[in-house]
């Protein structure tokens, strides 16, 4: 271990595993059970507790509380539960992240390269992929799954057991009570599908032909008044498969809470030729 910098007012339990290049700011507390990877920066007045692992190059800002007990009435202090945080994550001021529960799989997982903005909350048993953004005060209930590159707007609340698909975006102040389809833009109370996330798709160089296929699939799923099974069958019969269409279909087939409904008319979806 080299170049570890711990402020004289910080409290670090002797059982904590600190890797090279870690820095810990004033008045922060890291309790027994934590493992901190290379070059992690912990700001001032932070608390890291529980069986928490933090990957290399993460930055944790003032007042964040990482690994504190799940807010679940069934939780017992004797439960063997974990919080696993990947690499290159930015966790801003006063973020709270809880570990898993014994009944929910035992772990909460945050992948790599995520931005968790100030005052956001990640509850027990959530599974978050890579390259996601949770804006200020976004809140996840327990057992939420977020696929790669999803974005949640500020002050939005996601109901427990909901899934957010890859490259989806949820508008600020939304109430999310059903699954958000991959590649979609959703907004509202409750959140509903507005359109495909065209800007996000273009940013990751999804071909325009694929974007057109997704727009047609969204029209079938959300604008034709079909049941989910009939809509998926129509997509399979009428749209040439590609990885994105296959993922959308799989996500819809495996939805347990149902998909967000469509909002009012969206020209982007409605104008797609039949």
Q: Is 125 marked active-site?
A: yes
> Please, are residues 128 and 111 in contact by the beta-carbon 8 Å criterion?
yes
Task: Give the CA distances from residue 267 to residues 35, 244, 270, in Å, rounded to whole numbers and listed in that order.
Answer: 50, 22, 5
CA–CA distance, 260 with 258 (Å, rounded to integer): 7
Active site residue 63: no
**CA 52 – CA 89 distance, rounded (Å):** 14
Sheet holding 11-12, edge to edge: 11-12, 29-30, 47-48, 65-66, 96-97, 121-122, 139-140, 157-158, 175-176
Q: Point out the catalytic residue in the list 100, 142, 153, 188.
A: 142
Distance in angstroms (rounded) separating the CA atoms of residues 7 and 264: 55
Catalytic residue among 72, 125, 179, 187: 125
- The answer to whether the CB of 176 falls within 8 A of the CB of 258 is no
CB 125 within 8 A of CB 141: no
DSSP bridge partners of 67: none
Give the H/E segment covering residue 28. none
User: DSSP character for 69?
Assistant: P
Is 13 catalytic? The answer is no
Catalytic sites, residue numbers:
124-125, 142
């Amino acid at each position: 271990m080299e170049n570890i910098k711990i402020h004289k007012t910080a409290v670090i339990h002797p059982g904590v595993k600190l890797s090279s290049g870690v820095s810990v700011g004033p008045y922060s507390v890291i309790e027994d059970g934590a493992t901190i990877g290379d070059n992690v920066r912990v700001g001032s007045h932070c608390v890291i507790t529980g069986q928490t692992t933090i990957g290399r190059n993460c930055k944790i800002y003032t007042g964040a509380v990482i690994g504190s007990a799940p807010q679940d009435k069934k939780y017992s202090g004797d439960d063997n539960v974990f919080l696993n945080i990947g690499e290159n994550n930015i966790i801003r001021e006063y973020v709270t992240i809880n570990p898993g529960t014994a009944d929910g799989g035992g772990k909460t997982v945050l992948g790599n390269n995520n931005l968790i903005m100030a005052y956001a909350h990640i509850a027990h048993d959530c599974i978050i992929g890579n390259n996601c953004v949770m804006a200020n005060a976004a809140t996840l209930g327990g057992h939420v799954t977020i696929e790669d590159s999803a974005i949640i707007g500020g002050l939005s609340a996601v109901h427990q057991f909901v899934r957010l698909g890859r490259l989806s975006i949820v508008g600020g102040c939304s109430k999310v009570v059903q699954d958000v389809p991959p590649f979609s833009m959703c907004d509202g109370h409750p959140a509903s599908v507005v359109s495909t996330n065209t800007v996000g798709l273009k940013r990751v160089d999804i071909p325009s032909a694929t974007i057109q296929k997704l727009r047609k699939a969204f029209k079938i799923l959300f604008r034709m008044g079909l049941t989910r099974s009939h809509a998926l069958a129509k997509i399979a019969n009428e749209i040439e498969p590609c990885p994105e269409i296959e993922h959308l279909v799989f996500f819809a087939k495996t939805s347990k809470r149902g998909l967000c409904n469509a909002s009012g008319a969206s020209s982007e979806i409605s104008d797609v030729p039949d």
